[in-house]
Amino acid sequence: MDYFNYQNNQLFAEDVSVAAIAQQYGTPCYVYSRATFERHFLAFANATKNHKSLVCYAVKANSNIAVLNILARLGSGFDIVSKGELARVIKAGGDASKVVFSGVAKTADEIAYALKLGIKCFNVESVSELERISEVACELNLEAPISIRVNPDIDAKTHPYISTGLKENKFGIDIQTAVSVYQHAASLPGLKVTGVDCHIGSQLTEVKPFLEALDKLIALIDELKEKGIELTHLDIGGGLGVPYNNEQPPHPSEYAAQVTERLANYKHLELIFEPGRAIAANAGILVTQVEFIKQNQDKFFAIVDAGMNDMLRPSLYQAWQKIIPISVRNDDTPTRNFDIVGPVCETGDFLGKNRDLALKQGDLLAQRSAGAYGFTMSSNYNSRPRVAEIMVDGEQHHLIRQRETIESLYQGEKILP
């Protein structure tokens, strides 16, 4: 099921022509499908119905408040990594009691903000952080629910930059030392030990590494119980991959079924998932226009109006995302092998390389799978205003973030007197 489809050679997002959106809002722009966000969220939520569980959407994937609101209405919880992300969740109508706070460097201010809002849990990534949370909680006369994010030293078999569960990665606490850290946590004032957490990486295309991590977590939970520390939840993190090209990641229902099966004897443990990409990636496209066609000897470039500042993934991870025309040509324009490059002054500024397309100046293109880690990783590099975001909902479309203005680029800056 795909909500981005061709009708009479024109790309549609649900029931709206993408060309019409580009005409109305200009390019580049991100276009999202509400129905896709909902379908992906429900795939997780429904798959885990036989086990007490909570889906905490990872806000970093796509943090527009319209997206968060759509998910909050379906009962989603949220995985956040900053005060800013938590503020977005609250602004969007999310429930703080369903928020888990991840990240390696929570400040005292961020901890206090989250504590006062009554979040579900802090996923703690170091002993120093544990002590900081204890101090802040005591100062506020509050109790902080915590879980330790353990690093299980599992190879997630993904790109090294998005692998997080190996001992050489900065994330989590070495699982070998976890028991003593839990004992330390139990002795500190202001803390309530509630769970265990891990997140081994992103864009995983197999269930096996998740299950390996889960087995290590279960062994830890058993050991803690023997030592008198009983946990009430297990957070397996996010990381389920999506098909960008020919990858065949397991469907959320298959993944969730295998995870819950392993937890058959642990029905009392609430299971938390933190999916980001699996919910958002294929719910969005980046729409861009060909500014120029350029030929250097036998190399063809389509220079488009979206750059690495709008979509960083290809430059940062050599990520491959499909690029398709918004209107399929049926004239005699030759198909050529193009590098699709942006306007930014960097050699690494490309959306895709070696793409066989029939293109002319002025054509519109869509980069697919752009709903996750697209807009949220965008910047103003080269003083380029960040682009508009549009949410399609059936036959309706809504501007959910306006294009930044030139003036906004230097807002807050000052010239010396």
Ligand X SMILES: Cc1ncc(COP(=O)(O)O)c(C=O)c1O
Ligand Y SMILES: N[C@@H](CCCC[NH3+])C(=O)O
> Which of the stretches 21-29, 31-39, 232-240, 334-342 binds ligand X when contact is defined by CB under 6 A?
232-240
- 123 vs 134, beta carbon nearer ligand X: 123
Residue 189 Cβ, how far from ligand X at the closest point, in Å? 27
Handedness of CA 275, 245, 23, 381 (dihedral sign): positive
Helix ranges (DSSP H) in 227-304: 252-262, 277-280
Answer yes or no whether residue 202 interacts with ligand Y by CB under 6 A: yes
> Which of the stretches 137-145, 214-222, 245-253, 272-280 binds ligand X when contact is defined by CB under 6 A?
272-280
Give the C-alpha separation, 372 to 86, whole Å: 18
Q: Which neighbouring-strand residues pair with 357? A: 336
Residue 297 tokens, joined: 């000897």
**274 half-sphere exposure, CB direction, 13 A CA radius:** 30
Site for ligand X in 122-181 (CB under 6 A): none
Answer yes or no whether residue 162 interacts with ligand Y by CB under 6 A: yes
- 90 vs 377, beta carbon nearer ligand Y: 377
Binder among 199, 233, 386, 397 for ligand X (CB under 6 A) = 199
Residue 151 Cβ, how far from ligand Y at the closest point, in Å? 14
Residue 58 Cβ, how far from ligand Y at the closest point, in Å? 7
Site for ligand Y in 245-304 (CB under 6 A): none
Binder among 25, 273, 373, 375 for ligand Y (CB under 6 A) = 373
Give the C-alpha separation, 323 to 38, whole Å: 24
Could you tell me which of 89, 36, 29 has the C-alpha nearest to residue 58?
A: 89
- 162 vs 236, beta carbon nearer ligand Y: 162
66-69's contacts with Cβ under 8 Å and 24+ in sequence apart are: 66/92, 66/389, 66/391, 66/398, 66/400, 67/32, 67/37, 67/280, 67/391, 67/400, 68/92, 68/93, 68/94, 69/93, 69/94
Binding site for ligand X (CB under 6 A): 58, 61, 79, 102, 199, 202, 237-240, 274-278
Binding site for ligand Y (CB under 6 A): 60, 162, 202-203, 313, 373, 377
